Structure 1
Amino acid sequence: MNKEPRIWLITGVSGGLGRALAKEAASNGDIIFGTLRKTEQIRAFNELVPGKTFGLELDVNNQVQMHSVIQHILNKHNRLDILVNNAGYGLFGAIEELSMEEARMQMETNFFAVLALTQAVLPVMRKQRSGHIVQISSMSGLRANSGTGLYNASKFALEGMSEALAIEIQPLNIHLTLVEPGPFRTDWAGASSVSAKNKIADYEQSSGLRLKLLQGSSGKQPGDPAKGAKAILLAINSSHPPLRLVLGKVALDAIRDKFKTVEEEFSKWEDVSLNTSFEE
């Protein structure tokens, strides 16, 4: 007896990890609604796995459009099993170089749009008493670096919100997984990125050097989106899905190094930390 196909909504399926995940899940028999910013991109997505992949136009910062997309899916299938918040972009620049407009737009797209779509889908999943929310975060959501401070901030915010949400929805039989990729062979550091308009020469030796390294490696990153998609699907299909799924050796090594450094500093300053209570 064949299992009933699950209904997915994946944002940002024009390429990279989002498109690879859509293809992998559809190839395994599920039905995928993928969002794209341009109408002319829809046909190619519809033809990715014919009869299984369906493109919908959506700017994730447009909440009216967002609710129309969800209603369209419910009208077709009366349920939504898996939400993947994948759409987003990288903002490059030292903290001082960034304008408030650039910073706010990064947070709007990478955090507030994700929050809005997650909130919009939760009533459906609560009613079903089932569902899985996949937040595409980043190794940058756990470890910050120069030149991507606001991107780090957007992903740190996503991590904090999602960690709390996972606790809230656990009794409702709804799962949540944060996916934390390292460098994957996508357009994230290339055409999809945005750079600060303001440049300050004093930061050339810190953020400047790192951004040159990031942009110079675009198209040569070690991570394979197709393999990343398989890993995400494996986690979703698990009877005990992880809260966090790190993708790639670069990410795993960097995050482990961060936690090691944090623990070492905690231990070094432990006496000072503990000596802050009232004397009883």
Structure 2
Amino acid sequence: MAMSALCAGHRVIGTGRNVEKASSEHPEFAQLGGQWLQLDVSLPDAEQAIQEIVALEEQRFSTETEPLHWVVVNNAGATLLGAVEDMSENQIQQYLQTNLFGFIRVWKALLPTLRRNRTGTLVSISSIWGFVPKPEHMLYSAAKATTESLTESYATLLEPFGIRTMIVEPGGFRTPFAANNSKSDGGISADYEPRIQAWIDIVDAASRDKTMVNGDPAKFGDRVVEAVENQGFFESIWAEHDKSKALRVLLGTDCYSLFERRLGTLQQGYIDMAEVAISTNVDQ
């Protein structure tokens, strides 16, 4: 995403817990004009750190006649494999600090600026597993589902201020994401072991062989930038979209097929509950 945005002529501030490691692994980011910011969103002081960089950027561009259009991309997080009952309270809390509270800290730091400028784009990087519950990494699914719901709520609040909101739901992409996983610190309950271990084996195999999935990270970045710029596929999509609702961006054929099956299940449940729903009304 960052490289696609830089190549499209945008200014990009990239954040990370270890900027030295990130910059050494991706020297092209700085070469193209990207700026690094040391930031660990899991820490309570992350909000203050973001506010400081926002203030510096606003001052730098204070002579511009047009307000800055900030594009806020929430992409921090990793997967956690296992059932929650096999995780310690500490592991659960630490996981949510990044995958949920980190999201919220970024919003709290930046949304006042977007509202003041009356323009901006909010991009929440979720996962198809945020819409389709995955028991083998249920806390990851739960965290993503929560951020999706919060993002949808914000879409309605932010639309009057000229701010668009997107939820990006990727399937499998050839990135280090699979390798950047952790597992329940309490092991695996025997009853769940066959199913959870089978999924762990798949994830570990994907971490060694990225060709197990078909998603191209460069094309992922291009699609997100096109969505922000209202270009390419998204020119007609945005034209017909109710901007008081978050735009769901489905990336990957695996994501698309899983999304379809989940919709079918929900639709059938909706139909089955028709008489049940009205059966609880007060008798007239």
Superposed pair shares fold, TM > 0.5? yes
Choose the corresponding residue for 2:181, options 190, 193, 207.
Answer: 193
Choose the corresponding residue for 1:136, options 89, 106, 125.
Answer: 125
CA RMSD of aligned residues (A): 1.8
Normalising by structure 1, report the TM-score. Answer: 0.86
1:231 aligns with 2:229: no
Amino acid of the structure 2 residue aligned with 1:250? D
Q: CA–CA distance in 1 between the matches of 2:227 and 2:90?
A: 37
Distance 1:155 1:214, change over 3 A: same
Amino acid of the structure 1 residue aligned with 2:21? Q
Choose the corresponding residue for 1:165, options 154, 159, 171.
Answer: 154
Task: Indicate the SS of the match to 1:202.
Answer: coil
- What is the number of residues matched between the two proteins? 259
Distance 1:75 1:87, change over 3 A: same
Instruction: Please tell me whether the aligned partners of residues 82 and 196 of structure 2 are also in contact (alpha carbons under 8 angstroms).
Output: yes
1:56 aligns with 2:44: no
Amino acid of the structure 1 residue aligned with 2:257? D
**Residue in 1 aligned with 2:8?**
28
Instruction: Please tell me whether the aligned partners of residues 124 and 167 of structure 2 are also in contact (alpha carbons under 8 angstroms).
Output: yes
Q: Give 1:77 shift.
A: 4.2
Distance 1:77 1:27, change over 3 A: farther
1:125 aligns with 2:114: yes
Instruction: Please tell me whether the aligned partners of residues 189 and 215 of structure 1 are also in contact (alpha carbons under 8 angstroms).
Output: yes
Instruction: Please tell me whether the aligned partners of residues 185 and 223 of structure 1 are also in contact (alpha carbons under 8 angstroms).
Output: yes
1:176 aligns with 2:165: yes
What are the Cα deviations for residues 80-132 of structure 1, in whole angstroms up to 9, with x where unaligned?
61110111111111232122222222222111110111121011011100010
219-228 or 172-181, larger mean C-alpha shift: 219-228
Superposed counterparts of 1:41-80, under 5 Å: 41=21, 43-44=23-24, 45=26, 47-50=28-31, 52-78=33-59, 79=68
Q: Give 1:224 shift.
A: 0.9
**Residue in 1 aligned with 2:247?**
243
Instruction: Please tell me whether the aligned partners of residues 50 and 109 of structure 2 are also in contact (alpha carbons under 8 angstroms).
Output: no
Q: Give 1:61 shift.
A: 1.5
Instruction: Please tell me whether the aligned partners of residues 137 and 178 of structure 1 are also in contact (alpha carbons under 8 angstroms).
Output: yes
1:149 aligns with 2:149: no
Q: Give 1:70 shift.
A: 3.4
Q: CA–CA distance in 1 between the matches of 2:204 and 2:253?
A: 20
1:40 aligns with 2:40: no
The unaligned stretches of length 5 or more in structure 1 are 1-20
The unaligned stretches of length 5 or more in structure 2 are 60-67
1:110 aligns with 2:64: no
Instruction: Please tell me whether the aligned partners of residues 69 and 121 of structure 2 are also in contact (alpha carbons under 8 angstroms).
Output: no
Distance 1:97 1:177, change over 3 A: same
Task: Indicate the SS of the match to 2:3.
Answer: helix
221-230 or 75-84, larger mean C-alpha shift: 75-84
Instruction: Please tell me whether the aligned partners of residues 54 and 110 of structure 2 are also in contact (alpha carbons under 8 angstroms).
Output: no
Instruction: Please tell me whether the aligned partners of residues 2 and 14 of structure 2 are also in contact (alpha carbons under 8 angstroms).
Output: yes
Q: CA–CA distance in 2 between the matches of 1:54 and 1:274?
A: 56
Amino acid of the structure 2 residue aligned with 1:268? D
What are the Cα deviations for residues 204-243 of structure 1, in whole angstroms up to 9, with x where unaligned?
2222212222222232321111111111111111162761
38-47 or 209-218, larger mean C-alpha shift: 38-47
Moved over 6 A (4+): none
Q: Give 1:49 shift.
A: 4.8
**Residue in 2 aligned with 1:14?**
none
**Residue in 1 aligned with 2:65?**
none
Instruction: Please tell me whether the aligned partners of residues 135 and 177 of structure 1 are also in contact (alpha carbons under 8 angstroms).
Output: yes
Task: Indicate the SS of the match to 1:227.
Answer: helix
Choose the corresponding residue for 1:255, options 259, 263, 273.
Answer: 259
Q: Give 1:54 shift.
A: 0.9
Q: CA–CA distance in 2 between the matches of 1:42 and 1:222?
A: 24
Q: Give 1:48 shift.
A: 2.1
**Residue in 2 aligned with 1:6?**
none
